[in-house]
């Protein structure tokens, strides 16, 4: 028999897992500057790349992805339905963006959302990645590619799962990602966003 866990406890656990800032921990372990004080001052993988290079970035990406995937896998193991699991995705995402352990100032949430997405619906996750890679090759702008992939994710998710209620939650997360990318959107509108070298 599967162990019982109240849904509210699972949501809280997912938020707390999401609140673990991989970027800050990785930079501390590798004796790199605190990402909150360097570059864009954002504790996310892109800023870690600026200040720490590819190794630190890869570890950060994996850690951020696992923060999203682990709560989803726990929820599936405990036999929660897909709608409940998508709320778990939202909780982990909000933990990353507003981490309780780091003054509620976190990253933009794409890597954590993507990790959760692969655990929730791996075909949707692949859809996001393929869209990002294609747009990055065409546009040469990482943030714009991520925003386009994010905008299309609810469409992919609904077509693959045929679950409208869960799609609403996924759409909410995607809108939140646009909110966390306000500075990138402003730079895009002003033609000031950096291109992929």
Instruction: Place 197 in a pLDDT band, splitting at 50, 70 and 90.
Output: low
Task: Please count the structural domains in the chain.
Answer: 1
Is residue 131 one of the residues assigned to a domain? yes
Instruction: Place 49 in a pLDDT band, splitting at 50, 70 and 90.
Output: confident
Whether the pLDDT of residue 1 is over 50: the answer is no
Is residue 34 one of the residues assigned to a domain? yes
Helices 122-139 and 110-120: crossing angle, nearest 10°? Answer: 140
- Summarised one tens digit per residue, pLDDT across range 57-75 is 899 999 999 999 999 999 9
Is residue 2 one of the residues assigned to a domain? no
Nearest to 70 by CA among 91, 54, 56, 55: 91
Average pLDDT over residues 140-159: 95
Whether the pLDDT of residue 183 is over 50: the answer is yes
Is residue 196 one of the residues assigned to a domain? no
Domain that holds residue 79: 7-189
Is residue 194 one of the residues assigned to a domain? no
Is residue 195 one of the residues assigned to a domain? no
Is residue 53 one of the residues assigned to a domain? yes
Structural tokens at position 175: 């809108």
Instruction: Place 2 in a pLDDT band, splitting at 50, 70 and 90.
Output: very low
Is residue 22 one of the residues assigned to a domain? yes
Instruction: Place 4 in a pLDDT band, splitting at 50, 70 and 90.
Output: low
């Amino acid at each position: 028999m599967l162990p019982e866990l109240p849904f509210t406890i699972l949501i809280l656990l997912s938020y707390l897992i999401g609140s673990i800032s991989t970027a800050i921990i990785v930079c501390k372990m590798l004796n790199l500057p605190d990402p909150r004080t360097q570059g864009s001052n954002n504790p996310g993988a892109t800023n870690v790349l600026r200040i720490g290079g590819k190794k630190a970035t890869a570890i950060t990406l994996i850690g951020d992805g696992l923060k999203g995937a682990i709560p989803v896998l726990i929820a599936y193991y405990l036999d929660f339905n897909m709608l409940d699991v998508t709320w778990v995705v939202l909780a982990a995402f909000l933990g990353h963006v507003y981490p309780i352990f780091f003054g509620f100032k976190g990253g933009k949430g794409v890597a954590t959302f993507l990790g959760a997405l692969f655990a929730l619906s791996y075909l949707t996750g692949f859809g996001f990645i393929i869209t990002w890679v294609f747009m990055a090759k065409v546009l040469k702008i990482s943030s714009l590619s991520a925003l386009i992939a994010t905008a299309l994710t609810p469409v992919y998710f609904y077509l693959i799962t045929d679950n409208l209620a869960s799609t609403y939650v996924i759409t909410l997360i995607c809108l939140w990602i646009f909110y966390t990318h306000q500075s990138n959107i402003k730079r895009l509108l002003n033609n000031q966003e950096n291109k992929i070298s």
